[in-house]
Chain A
Amino acid sequence: MGRYILRRLVQGVITVWFIATATFFAMHNVPGDPLQSDKAVSPEIRANLEARYGLDKPLMEQYFIYLANMARGDFGISFTQQNREVNDIIAEHFRISAALGILAVAFAALGGILWGALTALYRNRLPDIVIMLLVILGISVPGFVFAGLGQLGVVNLNAALGFTLFPVGGWGTVSHMIVPALVLGLGTMAFLTRLMRSSMLEIANADFLRTARAKGLPANRIFRKHQLRNAILPVVTVLGPSIAAITTGGFVVELVFAIPGLGRYFVQAVQQSDYTVIMGTTVFYGAFLVFMVIVVDIIYGFVDPRVRLE
Chain B
Amino acid sequence: MTTPAGVPSFAPVPTSATEAQVISRPSLSYWQDAWRRLKANRRALVSLWIVVGLLLFTVFGPFAWRVNPDDQDLDQISKPPGPGRVATVARPFEPWTGVRDTFSTLPDTSVSADRLLAPAELAVVGEATTQAVRLSWRPDRTAPGASGWRVYRNLYDPAPDHALGLPVGDILPANTSFEDRLDLEPRRYFYSVLPLDAWGAESSDYIMLPVDVKRVITAEEAVAKGLVEDAMTLAPGDSVELAFHPLGTDYLGRDMLARLMHGARVSLFIGIVASFVYVAFGILYGAAAGFAGGRLDQLLMRFADFVVALPFLLFMILFRILFGVESGDSGIVPMLVAMVLLSWPATARLVRGQILQIREEGYVGAARLLGARSAWLVMRHMIPNTMGVILVTLTFAVPSAIFTEAFLSFIGMGVAPPTPSWGSMCNEGLKTMLTTPHELIAPALLISITVLAFNLLGDGLRDALDARMRSTE
Contact = CB atoms under 8 A, between A and B. Distances in A.
A22 B321 contact: no
Given A30-B321, A148-B440, A152-B433, A285 B311 contact: yes
A290 B309 contact: yes
A19 B309 contact: yes
A273 B317 CA distance: 12
B100 to A, nearest CB: 46
Q: How large is the interface on B (under 10, 10 to 19, 20 to 34, 35 or more residues)?
A: 35 or more
A140 B452 contact: yes
B407 A142 contact: yes
A256 B413 contact: no
A255 B448 contact: no
Contacts of B318: 23, 26-27, 278, 282
B426 A140 contact: no
Contact of B452 (A136, A251, A281): A136
A142 B309 contact: no
A282 to B, nearest CB: 5
Nearest to A21: B306
Contacts of B407: 142-144, 252
Interface stretch (A37-45, A61-69, A207-215, A264-272): A264-272
B258 to A, nearest CB: 22
Nearest to B313: A248
B393 to A, nearest CB: 17
Contact of B314 (A143, A155, A282): A282
Contacts of A19: 306, 309-311
Contacts of B449: 140
Interface in B301-344: 305-306, 309-315, 317-319, 321-322, 324
Contacts of A255: 411
A289 interface: yes
Interface string B411-426: 1110000000001001
Contacts of A281: 314
A285 B319 contact: no
Contact of A285 (B314, B399, B426, B473): B314
Contacts of B433: 148, 151-152
A244 interface: yes
B399 to A, nearest CB: 8
B434 A289 contact: no
Contacts of A248: 311-314
Interface of B: 305-306, 309-315, 317-319, 321-322, 324, 399, 403, 406-407, 410-413, 423, 426-427, 430, 433-434, 440, 444, 447-449, 451-452, 455-456, 471-473
17 contacts: A15-B305, A15-B306, A19-B310, A26-B319, A26-B322, A140-B399, A142-B403, A142-B410, A142-B426, A144-B410, A144-B426, A148-B426, A152-B434, A252-B410, A273-B321, A278-B318, A286-B314
